[in-house]
Amino acid sequence: MSGLKLNQRWTWIIASVAMLGGGLVLTVLLVLATQNSVLLEPYFNWLLWGNVATAALLGLVILLA
């Protein structure tokens, strides 16, 4: 990263910290969900199709970009 300008370096640092924080939040949510799987079981089908729709939308964005 020695060839980056100062503002680019800060952008990479902030983005990395944000991704790490988001990953930690998702890990905590995963742990909470696995401990309470009985409460979330009715929503698994909805979550599956929500993920499929999100993946299809992101795939479409990638193809059109």
- Residue 64: the pLDDT is 86
Give the Å distances, CA to CA, from 21 to 3, 16, 49: 26, 9, 26
Domain ranges of the chain: 6-64
Give, in order, the Cα–Cα distances in Å from 47 to each of 23, 29, 42, 51: 19, 14, 10, 6
14-63: pLDDT as tens digits: 989 998 998 888 888 888 888 877 777 788 888 889 889 988 998 888 88
pTM here?
A: 0.51
> What integer pLDDT is reported at residue 30 of this predicted model?
84
Q: In the predicted model, is pLDDT for residue 8 greater than 60?
A: yes
Selected residue with higher pLDDT from 36 and 7? 7
Q: Is the pLDDT of residue 2 over 80?
A: no
